[in-house]
């Protein structure tokens, strides 16, 4: 199956779109995160994360500020299934 994923970075105001092949939404999410990190590598951290960063991660936000905004199964025109998926 083909999946379309959108990731949003509120700090930068960016929306990144990816299309991946995967049998399940969880696998598509992993492939999408891999594609996102390849294009937008996380910044180097020199210190341990603070409480605010740890709270963001618990809320599903990646340390670099990206969140999975939308995942849609790419099917026939006009028909798409919207599925929620946890950030990994």
- 10-59 pLDDT per residue, tens: 888 999 999 999 999 999 999 999 999 999 887 776 778 778 777 776 66
| DSSP 3-state percent helix, strand, coil across the chain (nearest 5) | 25, 30, 45
Residue 27 to residue 32: CA distance in whole angstroms: 9
CB-based contacts of 57-61 (< 8 A; 24+ apart in sequence) = 60/86, 60/87, 61/87
**Beta strands per DSSP E along the chain:** 2-9, 14-21, 66-74
pLDDT at 55: 75
CA distance 9 to 15: 7
**Where do the structural domains in the chain lie, given as residue ranges?**
2-74
């Amino acid at each position: 199956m083909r999946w379309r994923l959108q990731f949003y970075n509120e700090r930068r105001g960016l929306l990144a779109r990816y299309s991946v092949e995967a049998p399940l939404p969880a696998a598509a999410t992993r492939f999408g995160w891999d594609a996102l990190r390849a294009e937008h590598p996380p910044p180097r951290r020199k210190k341990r994360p603070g409480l605010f960063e740890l709270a963001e991660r618990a809320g599903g936000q990646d340390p670099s500020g990206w969140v999975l905004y939308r995942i849609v199964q790419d099917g026939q025109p006009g028909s798409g299934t919207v599925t929620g998926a946890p950030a990994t």
